[in-house]
A and B are shown apart, each in its own frame.
Chain A
Amino acid sequence: MSNDSQFRTALGRARGLGSAHHGVSAFIVERSTSVALVPLCLWAVYAAIKVAPLGYESAVLMLRQPVNAIMSLLLVGVSFLHMRVGLRVVIEDYVHTPAAKILALLANSTLCWLGWAIATFSILWVAFVGGPVH
């Protein structure tokens, strides 16, 4: 945009395409998911320490309890949401080639949604069916 004409004035360059009139919602999501991840991660560490020495069967039993299943779902949901918003900012910061930028943004969104879907499906499977997928 800024380089489309060598005769564009400095003020024209500074104003650019104008304001997108959005950004505050992404900011709120970024900050609120950060705060939410503090207790969720503490719970995850606590659960991992508690269940690690007890073996596979105990881990399955633990995830079948509603509180643990819900906490796990929240953890992966909030994590992937936070990752999608955060990585978007990183891509916008460093990738400036238009095609590469669009591809990176699409890949980020796709992989985050995909990761969330697989993780959520797995947790629900263990919670309701109770074993590995055959």
Chain B
Amino acid sequence: MVQFTLPRNSKITKGKHFPAPEGAKKVKSFKIYRYDPETGANPRWDTFDVAVDQCGPMVLDAILHIKNTMDPSLAFRRSCREGVCGSCAMNIGGRNTLACTHAWDEVPGDAVQISPLPQMPVLKDLIPDLTLFFAQYSSIEPWLHTDTPMPQKEWTQSPQDRAKLDGLYECILCACCTTSCPSYWWNGEKYLGPAALLQAYRWLVDSRDEAIGDRLDDLEDPFKLYRCHTIMNCAQVCPKGLNPAKAIAGIKRMLVERVV
């Protein structure tokens, strides 16, 4: 059955408190999930009182400030710091989003609570293991499939057909949507999840692709596709404003069109 409580070794304990430096003008508390597999200890909530007048406006700015000035052992991923790479996806204030594009003063409540993306195994602190997520993306073969010999120049596409990819190609694979999906929590090993399915649809509606039938064959499965119950968490949390649920509905519509 589904597990509704955390296993004993995953129960989160109270951690350390890092006070703000003396003389700090504006202080905001950050409650951050900490886990170090090398110690064998349970995860814990550490609280950092950050002098936010000394750091930038985004949650990532605050986390970098914590790492630089309060606790260098804090582990997290980040790269572009402008919502393009998808590395700094984490659960902030109970919502999956990108730390680099989410302002800390927009998080409701006294403390900004930060934990790794839900559902995935935690490697350390705020770093989830996304291996299966990327393998699921890889399994939908996200590249152009053609049998026609390569044209001398490029594969041509009308502006209208190119426009069909808008709202799909922008996905940065941050995994906010997939890890926010309850259906993925229950059946993550078998359900492909919203991100992989959004990309599957991106190739299904690409006018240059010649493998629509094969792609639909591979997707028609009670678990890989039909675990989507239109819960819509994916569309709610997508930091790029995309709508994976709509794309999944598009795949279901194509499968119906094939038989009706």
Q: A11-B135, A15-B139, A92-B222 are in contact. Are A24 and B217 (CB under 8 A)?
A: no
Q: Of the candidates A14, A20, A93, which one forms a contact with B227 in the assembled complex, judged by CB atoms under 8 Å apart?
A: A93
B182 to chain A, nearest CB (A): 9
The answer to whether A14 and B139 have CB atoms under 8 Å apart is yes
The answer to whether B134 and A10 have CB atoms under 8 Å apart is yes
Binds A, one of B7-15, B34-42, B50-58, B184-192: B184-192
The answer to whether A10 and B135 have CB atoms under 8 Å apart is yes
The answer to whether A14 and B135 have CB atoms under 8 Å apart is yes
The answer to whether B255 and A93 have CB atoms under 8 Å apart is no
The answer to whether A22 and B189 have CB atoms under 8 Å apart is no
Interface residue? B207 (CB, 8 A): no
The answer to whether B1 and A92 have CB atoms under 8 Å apart is no
The answer to whether A27 and B132 have CB atoms under 8 Å apart is no
The answer to whether B255 and A24 have CB atoms under 8 Å apart is yes
The answer to whether B217 and A13 have CB atoms under 8 Å apart is no
Interface residue? B258 (CB, 8 A): yes
Number of residues of chain A lying within 8 A (CB) of chain B: 28
A91 to chain B, nearest CB (A): 11
Interface residue? A53 (CB, 8 A): no
Q: What 0/1 pattern do residues 213 to 232 of B give for CB contact below 8 A with A?
A: 00001111111111101000
The answer to whether B226 and A10 have CB atoms under 8 Å apart is no
Q: List the A residue with the shortest CB-CB distance to B252.
A: A27
Q: In whole angstroms, what is the CA distance A92 to B221 when docked?
A: 13
Q: A11-B138, A14-B139, A96-B2 are in contact. Are A19 and B131 (CB under 8 A)?
A: no
The answer to whether B132 and A10 have CB atoms under 8 Å apart is yes
B188 to chain A, nearest CB (A): 10
The answer to whether A95 and B132 have CB atoms under 8 Å apart is no
Within 8 A of A (CB), among B136-152: 136, 138-139
Q: List the A residue with the shortest CB-CB distance to B2.
A: A94
Q: A23-B220, A97-B1 are in contact. Are A14 and B132 (CB under 8 A)?
A: yes
Interface residue? A42 (CB, 8 A): no
Which of chain A's residues have a CB closer than 8 A to the CB of B80?
Answer: none
Number of residues of chain B lying within 8 A (CB) of chain A: 33
Interface residue? A66 (CB, 8 A): no
Interface residue? A2 (CB, 8 A): yes
Interface residue? A111 (CB, 8 A): no
Which of chain B's residues have a CB closer than 8 A to the CB of A9?
Answer: 135
Q: A10-B131, A14-B139, A15-B139 are in contact. Are A21 and B220 (CB under 8 A)?
A: yes
Which of chain B's residues have a CB closer than 8 A to the CB of A93?
Answer: 183, 186-187, 227, 229
- Other than the given A11-B135, A21-B221, A28-B260, 9 more pairs (CB < 8 A) read A10-B132, A11-B139, A14-B135, A19-B224, A20-B223, A22-B220, A28-B259, A94-B2, A97-B1
The 3 closest A-B pairs by CB, nearest first: A10-B135, A14-B135, A14-B139
B residues near A (Cβ < 8 Å) are: 1-2, 131-132, 134-136, 138-139, 183, 186-187, 189-190, 192, 217-227, 229, 252, 255-256, 258-260
A residues near B (Cβ < 8 Å) are: 1-2, 9-11, 13-16, 18-28, 89, 92-97, 100
29 contacts across the A-B interface (CB closer than 8 A)? A9-B135, A10-B134, A11-B138, A14-B132, A14-B139, A15-B139, A19-B217, A19-B220, A19-B221, A20-B220, A20-B222, A21-B217, A21-B221, A23-B225, A23-B255, A24-B259, A25-B259, A27-B256, A28-B256, A28-B259, A92-B187, A93-B183, A93-B187, A93-B227, A93-B229, A94-B186, A95-B1, A96-B186, A100-B1
